[in-house]
Amino acid sequence: MTLVTQLRHALSSGPGADTVLLTGDHVDHDPLPSALTQAAVLVPVTDRAEPGVILTRRTDTMTRHAGQIAFPGGRVDPGDADAIAAALREAEEEIALPRDAVRVVGEADRYRTVTGFEVTPVIGVVPPDLVFTPNPAEVAAVFEVPLGFLLDSGNHVEASVEWQGRNRHYYEILWGGHRIWGATAAMIVNLSRRLRWNA
């Protein structure tokens, strides 16, 4: 089974909505905002014998999520046809990933954040060893993490912190000096559960 076929099968079937993390950041008893802003991220999986996932580190000067690890992505703009178009546009803008270099597999489970975003992860397969050019206003670094490491539940660490008077639970994944946490880690956990369900 090819990588694309395996990923496509995992996205088209799998666990029901009640078994994945659809409400944001593991918040205890926190209502979702009444209006959610649509956003999309690209999950670029490298097509190699041992696939990897391309991630970015945001610049320290950004007003939101400064210095955090993220997938390329952002809001769905009015000019975007859909979440897939938004994810491809954002990846091109942030790291100069050509849209025509991405074989889109499909959309993964949407992730709703307590900050009012509903994020659609778009899974795409990209050629190995592409040269990326980070947009210096948004991206400080681009790096690749082995897909197998990210999807291994043994690397998914549950943590919690008190924030705004509430106990908030989240996942984090540590790799090569990078701390992947929050929404990015939760979307990885969701994908991991889908792939395990289809194993």
Domains, the chain, with CATH or none: 3-197 (3.90.79.10)
> At 178, which amino acid appears?
H
Q: What is the mean pLDDT of residues 39-58?
A: 95
Strands (E), 77-176: 103-107, 111-112, 117-126, 139-146, 157-163, 166-175
Across the strands, what pairs with 40?
A: 74, 120
Q: Residue 61 belongs to what H/E stretch?
A: none
User: pTM for the whole thing?
Assistant: 0.88
111 CB neighbour count, 10 Å cutoff: 25
Q: What is the DSSP letter of 27?
A: B
Residue range 108-135, pLDDT digits in tens:
988 888 778 889 999 999 999 899 999 9
